[in-house]
Amino acid sequence: MPNMQLNKTPMPEQSPDTRNTNFTEVALGYTAEQAKSEAERCLGCKHKPCVKGCPVGVDIPAFITPLKSGDADTALEILRRTNALPAICGRVCPQETQCEELCVRGLKGEPVAIGRLERYAADSAVPKALSGAAPTGHRAAVIGTGPAGLTCAGVLAAAGVEVTMFEAFHTPGGVLIYGIPEFRLPKAVAGREIESLKDMGVKIETNMVVGRVLSIDDLFARGFGAVFIGVGAGLPTFMKVPGESLIGVYSANEFLTRINLMKAYEPDAETPAPVFKNAAVVGGGNVAMDAARCAKRLSGGNVTVVYRRGEAELPARKEEIHHAMEEGIVFKFLTAPVEILGGDDFRVSGMVCEEMELGEPDASGRRRPVPKPGSRFTVECDCVISAIGTSPNPLLRQTERGLEFDRWGCVVTNPDTGETSRPGVYAGGDISTGAATVIKAMGAGKIAAESMIAYLAGK
Amino acid sequence: MAVIANARRLNADVTRIDLDAPHIAAKALPGQFVVLRVDARGERIPLTIARADAQSGVVTVVVQRVGKSTAILSDMKTGDIILDVAGPLGTPTHLQSGRCAVVGGGLGCAIAWPIAAALKREGAEVHMIAGFRTKDIVILEEEMREDSSALHICTDDGSYGFKGFVTDKLKGLITGGVSFDRVYAIGPLVMMKFVSRLTKEYGIPTVVSMNPLMVDGTGMCGCCRVTVDGKVFFACVDGPDFDGHLVDFDETMRRNTAYAAFEKARMDEHICRLTGESRGAEHA
């Protein structure tokens, strides 16, 4: 008999007042009992609506079935057939707008907690060493070691392609390492997934800034038969308001990189952490939530999220918004920054904002916020974090003449195949689409890898 | 990872480090930089490439002891290993023939020197003006002499060469009738600011090499943003070279003090650990 309880089995988590003072993981994961009970909520629909919501097509009912009898090993094996990074996806995917949105149980009550079950399977199964297929003798280069590149490398390696990945930073993982904080995705979890790729024979060269130290021509000359570009959208956008050069104004990328990649919050790290009492974060996406929650943990002061649309329009994952609110982050909706104020010391002393109201729908179909006259007020803060989006990394656009880019700086890519304008060169993830999600990048990495396998075989 | 092929002191505070990094040496162009990380706790330190030899695979950087991270790097020895070296980064210096003045200040001479050498190879007439506080800290004199058409060493205290600032020397050359097509200034921000102010008066195009705080060095964080002609640029990818007449030097000087308190505390702690002396007590 399925478990007909209307709500998801709650996942234990650190209490808000404890967790907002530490960087360890907020959500603690299901116990075996809880996982079993939640798995029982899955009706195992024949037509599997949930699978249509998954960018990598995980066979969701198939992996949940063994969890009903507590068999995490089989569940992980099924997950791994379509998803190279289940421990990561279980934590960071926006399930509520993907698989879970289409779950039949969601028609009356809450959908099955697919993400939590995925995480449970990945965390508690005894990992089986993965091995690549028999070597085909083909070699491929993957530029960037974020979600798109890691997925692409995993699919290629599983098909017997010899893969070398190139990472510009000193640590692989891309946004999983520099962007998403420890309390949401522990570095050890991302590290484990990367290690399992290495076990399959994938090589990773760090500190290699492709475009500068190596060109795509160099990669072909080194004997790689195909190249995948997954360098992401790492170029931060600032708000273009007066005062942005004051000390204490950060892009979310800088703020998060100092904390996540450079571990500046640890006492013996040599990279300075931002020092402030109260912070204002501008933006409403996952990055804004990550920055706000890191700011709270660093300073213990007031942290205000300023977002120009309403609560319903917040693009962040529901769980992150909920967690942020629980942790004492204050939200100012329908509010936009006008100017950042500074003192004689050239440091931030406040941020002037104005209230907005929603007008006619804009090109994105969302109602455009327009300023309300006479509504200006000042948020007291000595730190401002701009989390209003990023654009594609510009380096390859500047250095690679043979590739076509669109006017937003994205590599022009066929979404069905990952092909770019240059034969043998494929792309996917944020460098092709602009800033999106981990799972969408993974989906694109997988599609490109399949095309690359066919291309290499036909050479 | 890179092995230090050779490390030697150039003066009490400045060390020349030759790194075995053939892949970087093969691609590096004048004006580009590398980012180093000494160990797993270390910060990412941007250092301009002083010399890159594709044949021997050696990349040379010159480091000045200013904080804990650079102090640790300065004390490294031949044969030691640097955990991470990434590069070459940044846009190479735009070189032009004609008559140029290359102005270096202190440690900046280590970067001005390869620019002078590259300009000379391009066929330019290169007047190298190298400024130091005093004679004891003069570095790379032979190298700069070799790679320029004329070398003018200046010391603030007059203990060696011309007595005065590089701006005094540059002004003297200009008013003395040397007509420069272009000036390259590399050194402390305040020096580049005053060189640019001088050359603006005379309408001489001037390139400066900006050295703001940086984290990643690949265009990802925006920590190194500088304002040029009212617009924001990232020194790590758009620069580090910019038009000296349009740069807001005061802003970068102020931004560079952002972590002064942290840096001083770390340096004091480091000295204390090395010598057993507390700087605080010394000053008390």
Whether B27 contacts chain A with CB within 8 A: yes
**What pLDDT is recorded for position A265?**
87
Contact A179, A287 (CB under 8 A): yes
| Mean pLDDT of chain A, nearest integer | 93
Global ipTM: 0.91
Instruction: Give residues with Cβ within 8 angstroms of B141, minimum separation 6.
Output: B130, B151, B153
A240 to chain B: closest CA residue: B232
User: pTM for this one?
Assistant: 0.92
**Is B69 near chain A, with CB under 8 Å?**
yes
pLDDT at A267 over 90: no
Is A247's CB within 8 Å of B42's CB?
A: no
Q: Is the pLDDT of residue B148 over 70?
A: yes
Task: Give 3-state DSSP helix, strand, coil % of chain A, rounded to 5.
Answer: 35, 20, 45
Contacts of residue B149, Cβ cutoff 8 Å, sequence gap at least 6: B120, B125, B126, B127
Helix axes A114-124, A32-39, angle to 10 degrees: 140
Most B-contacting residue of A270, A271, A347 (CB-CB within 10 A), to test interface: A270
Output DSSP code: residue B135.
Answer: G
In chain B, positions 193-252, which contact chain A (CB-CB < 8 Å)?
215-216, 218-223, 225, 227, 232, 237, 251
Mutate to test the interface with B, among A167, A207, A241, A383 (most CBs of B within 10 A): A207
Q: Which residue type sits at A173? A: G
pLDDT band at B275 (very low <50, low <70, confident <90, very high): confident
- Structure tokens of B245? 């007449």
CATH for B99-209? 3.40.50.80
Given a cut of 70, is residue B231 above it in pLDDT?
yes
Q: Which two tokens stand for residue B86?
A: 């990434």
Q: Show me where the domains of chain B are located.
A: 2-89, 99-209
Give the residue-averaged pLDDT of A199-226: 95
Instruction: Tell me the pLDDT tens digit for each residue of A124-182.
Output: 988 776 666 789 999 999 999 999 999 999 999 989 999 999 999 999 999 999 999 99
| B2-89 and B99-209: identical CATH topology | no
Adjacent-strand bridge partners of A347? A247
Q: Which of B41, B85, B263 sits opposite A268 (nearest CB)?
A: B41
Q: What's the whole-number mean pLDDT along residues A74-89?
A: 91
Please check the confidence at residue B282 and state whether its pLDDT lies above 60: no
CA distance A30 to A89: 15
Q: Is the dihedral of CA A101, A107, A112, A113 positive or negative?
A: positive
Cβ within 8 Å, pair B220-A234: yes
Does the distance separating the beta carbons of A206 and B84 come in below 8 Å? yes
How distant, in Å, are the alpha carbons of A91, A203, A404, A445, B220 from that of A438?
11, 22, 24, 11, 18
Fold entry, domain B2-89: Elongation Factor Tu (Ef-tu); domain 3 (2.40.30)
pLDDT at B278 over 80: no
Position B213 scores a pLDDT of: 94
Query: Does A266 have pLDDT greater than 90?
Result: no
Q: How many CB pairs under 8 A join A and B?
A: 107
Instruction: State the residue for tokens 């960037």.
Output: A144
Which tokens hold the place of A195? 């290690």
Judge contact between A52 and A45, C-beta under 8 A: no
pLDDT of residue B273: 75
pLDDT tens, position by position, A360-393:
888 878 788 899 999 999 999 999 999 999 999 8
Mean pLDDT within B193-209:
97
Name B159's Cβ contacts closer than 8 Å, sequence gap at least 6.
B134, B135, B136
Find all residues with CB under 8 Å of A259, minimum gap 6, and list them.
A181, A265, A273, A294, A298
% of chain A surpassing 70 pLDDT: 99
pLDDT band of B229, cuts 50, 70, 90: very high
The pLDDT value given to residue A364? 78
Nearest residue in chain B measured CA to CA from A392: B220
Q: Is B270 on the interface with A (CB under 8 A)?
A: no
- Cβ atoms of A64 and A37 within 8 Å: the answer is no
Q: Name the token pair of A20.
A: 């907002």
Asked if A212 lies within 8 A of B255 by C-beta distance, the reply is no
B37 neighbourhood in chain A, CB within 8 Å: 170
Cβ contact B86–A245 (<8 Å): no
Hey, what are B241's tokens? 């070279």
**All domains of chain A, ordered by start, with CATH?**
16-124 (1.10.1060.10), 139-232+392-458 (3.50.50.60), 235-389 (3.50.50.60)
The answer to whether the CB of A143 falls within 8 A of the CB of A208 is no
For residue B280, the model assigns a pLDDT of: 45
Q: Any CB–CB contact under 8 A between A191 and chain B?
A: no
Q: Which two tokens stand for residue B62?
A: 């010159």
User: What is the pLDDT, as a whole number, of residue B276?
Assistant: 67
**Contact call for residues B182 and B194 (beta carbons, < 8 A):** no
Instruction: Pull the structure tokens for residue A324.
Output: 């942020």
pLDDT (tens digit, 9 = 90+) per residue, A275-295?
999 999 999 999 999 999 999
Q: Does B125 touch chain A (CB under 8 A)?
A: no
Q: Does B279 have pLDDT greater than 90?
A: no
Per-residue pLDDT for B274 more than 80? no
pLDDT digits (tens, 9 = 90+) for A166-179: 999 999 999 999 99
Q: Which of A7-16, A47-56, A80-89, A316-325 has the lowest mean pLDDT?
A: A80-89
> In this complex, do A213 and B23 lie within 8 Å of one another by their Cβ atoms?
yes
E-assigned strand segments in chain B: 2-9, 14-20, 33-37, 45-53, 58-64, 81-82, 84-89, 99-105, 125-132, 150-155, 162-163, 182-186, 206-209, 225-228, 231-234, 241-243
What are the angstrom distances between the C-alpha of A80 and each of A24, A60, A103, A435? Answer: 26, 12, 21, 25
A346 touches chain B (CB under 8 A): yes
Higher pLDDT among residues A339 and A94, named by residue: A339
Chain B residues lying within 8 Å of A275, measured CB to CB = 261-262
Taking CA–CA distances from B44, the nearest residue in chain A reads A271
Q: State how far the alpha carbon of B97 is from the alpha carbons of B24, B31, B193, in Å.
A: 26, 16, 24
Distance from CA of B224 to the nearest CA of A (A): 10
Cβ-based contacts of B215 with chain A (< 8 Å): 254, 257-258, 262, 271
Chain B residues touching residue A258 (CB < 8 angstroms)? 215
Cα dist from A153 to A174, A197, A229, A231, A354, whole Å:
14, 8, 11, 14, 47
Question: Residue B178: pLDDT band by 50, 70, 90 thresholds?
Answer: very high
* Max CA distance (Å), chain B: 56
- B43/chain A closest Cα distance in angstroms: 5
- Both structure tokens of A391: 């654009």
pLDDT at A129: 67
Confidence of residue A268 (pLDDT cuts 50, 70, 90): confident
Instruction: Tell me what pLDDT residue B283 has.
Output: 41
Note the pLDDT of residue B284: 35
Best probe of the B interface among A213, A214, A250, A266, by most B CBs < 10 A, is A213
Amino acid at A415: P
Q: Chain B neighbours among A 392-421 (CB < 8 Å)?
A: 393-395, 398
Report chain A residues whose CB lies below 8 A from the CB of B32: 212
Interface probe for A, chosen from B220, B229, B253 (most Cβ of A below 10 Å), is: B220
Kindly state whether B178 is in contact with chain A, defined as any CB-CB distance less than 8 angstroms: no
Q: Which pLDDT belongs to residue B277?
A: 61
Backbone phi and psi for residue A309, each to the nearest 5 degrees, phi listed first: -110, -165
- CA-nearest residue of chain A to B255? A247
